[in-house]
Structure 1
Amino acid sequence: MKYITSSLLLLLAFSSFAQSTKTINQYGNPIFEGWYADPDATVFNNKYWVYPTYSSKYKEQVFLDAFSSDDLVKWKKHPHVLDTSAVKWANKAMWAPAIVEKDKKYYLFFGANDIQNDNEVGGIGVAVADKPEGPFKDHLGKPLVDKFHNGAQPIDQFVFKDKDGQYYLIYGGWKHCNIAKLNKDFTGFLPFDDGTIFKEITPDKYVEGPYMFIKNGKYYFMWSEGGWTGPDYSVAYAVGDSPFGPFKRVGKILEQNDTIARGAGHHSVIINKKKDKYYIVYHRRPIGDTDGNHRVTCIDEMNFDTNGNILPVKITNEGVKAEKLK
């Protein structure tokens, strides 16, 4: 009997250790399992959300998953919040989602089909849902942007809400970036005062993956540069007085670390306004992995100096500690 009791206690102790180990292992980078890239991170209803690209061959990129968390540590997967069965014009390369909430609706912007010229079908689309986890349905039945304007491939879209409540679409690959003024229901665009729809705001060395936020009245414009499959992939930024710039490149703030990961880039930012904390959510490649699609989603803290400059981000395996919004 004494032997059985001792064995039982040992088993219980081991189970407790295994459980605590499991919990500890939920901390760190990458933040969830699977090959995912180009994450758009945001906050809805006191919950963190991440919408990434499913990183695979173009013909296999026919859906988008989402992930939610209460604390930046434990993430719940929401599979196939959108797939090509709901978007009749899209058939591959569903990329780089960007989401925004407006009037109690959730609008998910995405790229599809990787068009190479104006004669191909595809570009930037919009899907809509009543909940952040979807299911999303095609908002237009056609792409929102289906042509090359100012040389920008219609991919890598970001939706920016200005201080006056106006929403803008900021997008572009192939080393060109445009900004366009969205109409109220996100079905099209409003012309600028000069009659144009798409204004180019491309800074020096820009390649793709634009992102913008406001801090202390200044517009921080961020982007990815370098080759997306190469070690030079990284994030740089500029600062301006309006969403139209002009934007003069300041420098890189996120890049690879030979001892941790390669090709760190294509990011977004989570801002905890109550605690004035900033987190950069990005993808990177495991050391030694040569498959171009093997990218994982990670998170690290982003800090500023006293002059408002973004300090170089230290990429880590540890990630960030649990941080609830409430």
Structure 2
Amino acid sequence: MKRMIALLLLAGCSQLSIAQEKKAKYSGNPVFPGWYADPEGVVFGKDYWIYPTFSAAYDQQVFFDAFSSPDLVTWIKHPDILDTAAVKWAKRALWAPSIVEKDQHYYLFFGANDIQNNQETGGIGVAVANNPAGPFKDYLGQPLVSQIINKAQPIDQYVFHDSDGKYYLIYGGWGHCNIAQLKDDFTGFIPFEDGITFREITPEKYVEGPTMFKKDGKYYFMWSEGGWTGPDYSVAYAIADSPMGPFKRIGKILEQAPAIATGAGHHSVIALPAENRWYIVYHRRPLTEKAANSRETCIDRMYFDKNGLIQPIKITKAGVPAALIRK
């Protein structure tokens, strides 16, 4: 009798272990605890990295944390990789980091101060480090973009590295989006052939949060629509033959699921084309939360149909399966 009870207990423990193991093989959503938004997902070497906005009142947004993982399941927090103490002109509202690696340095582009006019100090800055975990220091000593150009508030910056080696800064809030070609050292911009430095590429219904990637020779431009504090926040996209467009809106591919979460938006894309794996990293608001800054970072798979169109994304609680970077 005792042996039978022991066997039953052992079987129960085994089933529990299997259940825990299955659970551990998925990232879960959110992928890490805490209120974080506007996540930038990238790959450096054999690790996945996420650089989000600390989601809090503007005056409390004075630093960035980063997170790294070898498998999308186990995440390591790298606290305070950059804060306003290292950027003399930045005082508040550190937003939406975007990072690129170049010549063994890591360049972190960020928005600061939430400027409302051209008399205020702030805009888009650049910080640099020798390690993706920082610490980062101010690269220019002043904003890279400090003015409201083409009615685009200088926030929500994304750096796109094209296959021809050129780097572009794509940014903008207030319903307007600009693109500009960066100098090789990221200290300024190279005017386009027509003499324009900041070209507006705003598509229909654009609000903020631009992202771009290239697949099969086509440029996929994605952005957020709706209000960031509400349930209608979402992501739409367009495809063009050039990073300058023109971009004609195709449709919405990420939005709330009433049974899971609201306000799904302001995303980035982790692309592993050699492995045919594409992920969307985004923030959303739990159903239990109403506060504007109660946003958490999540990840789900992104798929394409036979014509290269992005299939509507199903937001999940499970997240994505564990996956090492093979190449």
TM-score by length of 1: 0.94
Residue of structure 2 equivalent to 1:175: 175
Residue of structure 2 equivalent to 1:164: 164
The separation in 2 between residues aligned to 1:22 and 1:129, in whole angstroms, is 37
Output the amino acid matched with 1:157: Q
Output the amino acid matched with 1:271: A
The separation in 2 between residues aligned to 1:27 and 1:251, in whole angstroms, is 28
Map residues 104-253 of structure 1 onto 2, 5 A cutoff. 104-253=104-253
> Any unmatched runs of 5+ in structure 1?
none
**Post-superposition CA distance 1:167-206 (Å, at most 9, x none):** 0000000000000010011011111112221000000000
The separation in 2 between residues aligned to 1:105 and 1:83, in whole angstroms, is 19
Give yes or no for the alignment of 1:95 onto 2:95: yes
**Post-superposition CA distance 1:301-325 (Å, at most 9, x none):** 0001101110000000010000110
CA RMSD of aligned residues (A): 2.0
* Deviation at residue 231 of structure 1 after TM alignment: 1.1
Q: Report the 3-state secondary structure (helix = DSSP H, G, I; strand = E; otherwise coil) of the residue aligned with 2:274.
A: coil
Q: Report the 3-state secondary structure (helix = DSSP H, G, I; strand = E; otherwise coil) of the residue aligned with 1:52.
A: strand
How many residue pairs get matched?
320
**Identity among equivalent pairs (%):** 65
Residue of structure 2 equivalent to 1:296: 296
Residue of structure 2 equivalent to 1:319: 319
The separation in 2 between residues aligned to 1:22 and 1:138, in whole angstroms, is 43
Q: Report the 3-state secondary structure (helix = DSSP H, G, I; strand = E; otherwise coil) of the residue aligned with 1:274.
A: helix
The separation in 1 between residues aligned to 2:21 and 2:227, in whole angstroms, is 36
Residue of structure 2 equivalent to 1:52: 52
Question: Structure 1 residues 15, 32: closer, same or farther in 2, change over 3 A?
Answer: farther
* Deviation at residue 288 of structure 1 after TM alignment: 3.0
Residue of structure 2 equivalent to 1:24: 23
> Any unmatched runs of 5+ in structure 2?
none
Residue of structure 2 equivalent to 1:286: 286
Output the amino acid matched with 2:23: I
Output the amino acid matched with 1:21: Q
Q: Report the 3-state secondary structure (helix = DSSP H, G, I; strand = E; otherwise coil) of the residue aligned with 1:213.
A: strand
Runs of 4+ in structure 1 over 2 Å off:
13-27
Question: Structure 1 residues 141, 22: closer, same or farther in 2, change over 3 A?
Answer: farther
Residue of structure 2 equivalent to 1:63: 63
Output the amino acid matched with 2:314: K
**Post-superposition CA distance 1:241-270 (Å, at most 9, x none):** 000000000000000000000000000001
TM-score by length of 2: 0.94
